[in-house]
Structure 1
Amino acid sequence: MPERQKTALITGASSGIGFATAIEFAKRGYKVYAVARRLEPMQELKDKYGITIFKLDVSSLDSVKEAKKFLTEDTSGYLDVLFNNAGQSCTFPAIDVTDEWFTQCFEVNVFGPMRLVRELAPLLINAKGVIGFTGSVSGLVPFPFSCTYSSTKAAIHQYAATLRLEMKPFGVRVINVITGAVKSDIEDKRPLPATSIWKIPEIEEALVLRRQMAKRNNPMEADVYAKKVADDFEYSSALNVYRGTKASYLGHLLEWCPRFIVEWGLIRQFKLGDVYRILSEKYSKEHID
């Protein structure tokens, strides 16, 4: 009887990490399913690498159920790798984030992976497969203007840690890729709301510095990251692996550096000193309605 070809599902595969990881698994002989909300950016994956592409919106239960039906039929009920990589950025002061924005961010970054794990668990158990998540150093370090995004990543870190324990009886491994700087197009380009109390001229530079943090810190090439992550899926027994520029350093920063020093460093790095001073002076005199 011929050996079964291994299978991998990569979400958020239209660019960056997902795109590169889909290629890497295909090169390793996997039958790869690359999914995203848009097909066009993934066409090269199909044409050049023979990867199966289809639309999947992780925030839609119906879409996830359709994907499960297709995968069950196409793989005979086996899935060796589930890489929950789809992500939604949200880089705004906490008090400016609308219900729509934080709901969408949690839908994509947290609830989407939870849906996929639940629905695809039978296929992963049949294959004794591996479930992976794209975590982030933002889930560990309090980067300014990242309350929403950081909280989604902190949530997925803990979800992965507990899921790892629960999946042990079924022979399914779980890994959480705590990610530093990687070349990708995840920058949030939306402007601050006109009504924001943060909206002073001095905020613009600070906001750009924060939103382009990865781009300005020698980000790892996506294909290099993909090779490391594919190795992690195939060989690592650890829960947390640190991939991307400065991932290990930032991932352990608060374990050895006092929080007040980290906070001082972040204010300095993102040039928030003048912003904080101006806002403090302004709102010590003005009444906010």
Structure 2
Amino acid sequence: MQTVFITGVSEGIGAALALHYAAQGARVLGVSRRPRPATLDGSLTPEDYACIDLGEPDAPTAVQTFLQRRQVHTLDILVHNAAAGWYGSPTQQSSASIDQLLQLNLYAPIALTHMLLPRLRAAHGVIAFISSVHSALPTPDFALYTATKAGVDGFARALRIEERGKVDVLVVWPGPTRTSMHAKSGVPPERIHNKHYASPEAVAAAVAVAIQRRRSCAVGAGNTLLRWAALRLEAPLQTMMIAWARRRSLRKAGGE
């Protein structure tokens, strides 16, 4: 039986992944800052769920205690899914909010990876970082979020080389997904286009395939092309295209 540990498991992509792996017969453990929702009843037991806010500095220690209490000595799959965004100019974001976003999106996955590597090596496991297609793009109004995802990408690339032959490391780059993240980030309702976004289940299915193949991937043909172009276009052209797209979006939303 595989043992799978997922962060940000209470909703969205994390909850869909928990359901997928539970259906495969895996033991699923997870953490989220919210109390365990009833929607996870078929995915993981109350004992295998911990209410831990990974945006707090002592979170890695709390996760270590939780896994020791649950007698988890090896891990087959670790999915770093927990993340948050913040919409607007960085000049409008408080220092406390900046610190918490860096803690949750960047420090927590690095610290948890450091702590859990022995368990993953014991099973020749897989680490999957859920990043964003925007990590390779200049993304106005999401500057700090983009920076944290770019940092995760850099850490994962180096770790993949360091752990070769011991643990497989991969990154999955989704585009906008139909979750509550945009609203929680403060995105104006008129700029949230859920009907055009991928469902959490579709993204989770792509993540599961990437883990099975032990290979990084972008989710969907459009995002694959977007990431390919972002990594190859010259920076001035890339910035010009993003600026044009932003102006167009604002005009449609009745902005500037």
TM-score range, shorter chain: 0.7 to 0.9
Partner of 1:32: 28
Structure 1 distance, partners of 2:62, 2:218, is 33
Per-residue deviation, 1:244: 4.8
Per-residue deviation, 1:10: 0.7
Contact kept in structure 1, 2:18 and 2:44, CA below 8 Å: no
Structure 2 distance, partners of 1:245, 1:103, is 34
Answering whether residue 230 of structure 2 is matched by residue 254 of structure 1, we say yes
Q: Could you list the per-position Cα deviations for residues 217-239 of structure 1 after superposition, in whole angstroms to 9, with x for gaps in the alignment?
A: x2111112111211211222x3x
**Comparing 8-17 and 63-72, the one that deviates more:** 63-72
Structure 2 distance, partners of 1:160, 1:30, is 25
Structure 2 distance, partners of 1:135, 1:225, is 12
Structure 2 distance, partners of 1:20, 1:273, is 30
Structure 1 distance, partners of 2:243, 2:110, is 34
Contact kept in structure 2, 1:187 and 1:211, CA below 8 Å: no
Write the letter of the residue equivalent to 1:57.
D
Answering whether residue 239 of structure 2 is matched by residue 263 of structure 1, we say yes
Partner of 1:106: 102
Q: Could you list the per-position Cα deviations for residues 38-59 of structure 1 after superposition, in whole angstroms to 9, with x for gaps in the alignment?
A: 114x3321x2334432212223
Partner of 1:17: 13
Answering whether residue 205 of structure 2 is matched by residue 227 of structure 1, we say yes
Question: Do the aligned partners of residues 256 and 55 (structure 1) sit closer, same or farther apart at CA in structure 2, a change above 3 Å counting?
Answer: same
Partner of 2:254: none
Structure 2 gaps, min length 5: 252-256
Answering whether residue 49 of structure 2 is matched by residue 49 of structure 1, we say no
1:57-206 mapped onto 2 (5 Å cutoff): 57-169=53-165, 171-188=166-183
Structure 2 distance, partners of 1:210, 1:263, is 24
Contact kept in structure 2, 1:138 and 1:149, CA below 8 Å: no
Moved beyond 4 Å, runs of 4+: 188-191, 272-275
Question: Do the aligned partners of residues 117 and 265 (structure 1) sit closer, same or farther apart at CA in structure 2, a change above 3 Å counting?
Answer: same
Per-residue deviation, 1:68: 2.0
Write the letter of the residue equivalent to 2:98.
F
Q: Who wins on radius of gyration, i.e. which is larger?
A: 1
Partner of 1:199: none
Write the letter of the residue equivalent to 2:2.
K
Contact kept in structure 1, 2:55 and 2:101, CA below 8 Å: no
Per-residue deviation, 1:100: 1.4
Question: Do the aligned partners of residues 33 and 190 (structure 1) sit closer, same or farther apart at CA in structure 2, a change above 3 Å counting?
Answer: closer
Q: Could you list the per-position Cα deviations for residues 99-135 of structure 1 after superposition, in whole angstroms to 9, with x for gaps in the alignment?
A: 1121111100000101111111111111111111111
Count of matched residue positions in the alignment of Structure 1 and Structure 2:
249
Contact kept in structure 2, 1:210 and 1:270, CA below 8 Å: no
TM-score (norm 2): 0.86
Structure 1 distance, partners of 2:60, 2:8, is 13
Per-residue deviation, 1:189: 5.2
Q: Could you list the per-position Cα deviations for residues 138-193 of structure 1 after superposition, in whole angstroms to 9, with x for gaps in the alignment?
A: 21111211211110000000000011112125x111011112122111115566xx
Per-residue deviation, 1:259: 3.5
> SS at 1:57's partner residue?
coil
